[in-house]
Chains A and B, each alone.
Chain A
């Protein structure tokens, strides 16, 4: 897993994708930092993370995940991976954590905003940490969905569109049936910015993540027999 993780992280920063996604993300953070914090003269960082999760993650996650398996499939490098002694599980996990790392980097960068605010008022550090935790959990769930989409097709655009659709659709579908709120990631993030660790939300975010990772692993294994 380590070998694949290292190579994947390297690939993000050898291609423009890593820089572009981090750049877009920081832009989002900065805009929302102005809109939610500076504009109101508030020291509450929760809204910053909420707005970025809602509008930033959506743009960035598909960008990060669309290539994960699609590119390998299209270039045939999938054959190199799957004929190596590494297990499918370690390949999938290596790729998953590499994408999570990129998000983690942006979350670390976002500490800057708290530092800025701390000059003007008192920042509630535990609340920010809880918010970050929630943010990372949401990102993990979104990445696992994107990775699953990427394992379905060799077309990166298709993979990105599927991911965006799955992430956005619940916002509108909630009006039809409350069932859809269970796959609405942002809905599960709501409580974290208040400094509340909701076990229910944590479990559902984690279970979405684990489920998508498992399905990805099963699909790749299964394809060996069908292909």
Chain B
């Protein structure tokens, strides 16, 4: 279990992380999400003890990293941003070095290193120099370094950056597998990734937490309207009068006029009604042939942008209020 309590990090006058608090329970896979420069890496660097918070407390399994660094650091495996590695070593040498640093006992070391190399699929390249490995393999070596010593908590800073789509899927599958045994915190600015891998998302912007929830809930809570996308063949142009037939429809928008004579519309209704059944029944009566009908989903992408915009707006409001107050004075 990881607990962050009112953690703040300042660099001179700039605040990188501003009073954040959240919890990660055992066995949870949590995604730290935010635009570049939001404070994700800083937060991770503080959890792993690479840098110290200016104020606040970080507890890993109940231990404060500043008080019992040795104990806490043993329980954490860290894959830093940018995949730092010793290029003059081979993956096998690197992982055994990391095992030594993590205080894995000499007797168990060889076995542990082999196990981790197996797990991360590095067997074939274990004796090549890391310098000569492809980006995907380097990423795995870095991950192997984080895994060795069987830490309770694994922290991955942007684990899939710079990989090709195939490698990304491989790393994701690996992380999912790891999530069954370990507590994982990973950061990313790719939202689809987070919604695929993580059970919980912490959204950070400008050093502040703006939301903590499951990906599904975030999508739901930020959905303000119900949209249905339909592709139809409509020779009599009856879609225009559809609004009169179904009262729940708020608006109908033409999205695309396809070359094959079909048209794509988005039908918007209020959030609490589902029009799909009604549309299926009514459209054929109006001589409209349905080619496709589906709910438009708000993606995490939308949720994310909306949340960040909300914060911006409220900030602007605050600023305005302040300005007004100052003017009054």
Contacts and interface: CB of A to CB of B under 8 A. Distances in A.
A81 interface: yes
Interface residues of B, number: 30
Contacts of A7: 86, 97, 100
Contacts of A75: 84-87
Contact of B50 (A3, A10, A82, A87): A82
A85 B84 contact: no
B73 A77 contact: no
Contacts of B80: 76, 79-80, 83
A3 to B, nearest CB: 4
A3 B96 CA distance: 10
A85 B73 contact: yes
A7 B100 CA distance: 10
B101 A79 contact: no
A116 to B, nearest CB: 36
Contacts of B87: 75
B294 interface: no
B48 A83 contact: yes
B103 interface: yes
B265 interface: no
Given A3-B100, A14-B89, A77-B86, A85 B69 contact: yes
B84 A80 contact: yes
Given A83-B73, A85-B101, A85-B103, A224 B88 contact: no
A195 B221 CA distance: 83
B51 A84 contact: no
Q: Is the interface of A mostly helix, strand, loop or mixed?
A: helix
Given A80-B145, A224-B52, A3 B101 contact: yes
Given A11-B86, A14-B88, A83 B52 contact: no
Contacts of B101: 3-4, 80-81, 84-86
Contact of B82 (A11, A76, A81): A76
Contacts of B102: 84-85
Interface string B114-152: 000000000000000000000000000000010000000
Contacts of B304: none
Interface string A55-91: 0000000000000000000011111111111110000
Contacts of A80: 78, 80, 84, 98, 101, 145
Given A76-B82, A83-B78, A11 B88 contact: yes
Contacts of A84: 73, 98, 101-102
A82 B70 CA distance: 11
A9 B128 CA distance: 20
Nearest to B99: A3
Given A77-B84, A80-B145, A87 B89 contact: no
B74 interface: yes
A87 B70 contact: yes
A122 interface: no
Interface string B221-257: 0000000000000000000000000000000000000
A227 B88 contact: no
Interface in A136-187: none
Interface string A83-122: 1111100000000000000000000000000000000000
B85 A83 contact: no
Contacts of B49: 82-83, 224
A199 interface: no
Nearest to A14: B88
Interface of A: 3-4, 7, 10-11, 14-15, 75-87, 224-225, 227
Interface of B: 45, 48-52, 69-71, 73-74, 76, 78, 80-82, 84-89, 93, 97-98, 100-103, 145
7 contacts: A14-B88, A75-B86, A77-B86, A80-B145, A83-B50, A83-B73, A224-B51
**9 tightest Cβ-Cβ pairs between the two chains A and B:** A76-B84, A3-B100, A84-B101, A79-B80, A83-B48, A85-B73, A77-B84, A14-B88, A225-B52
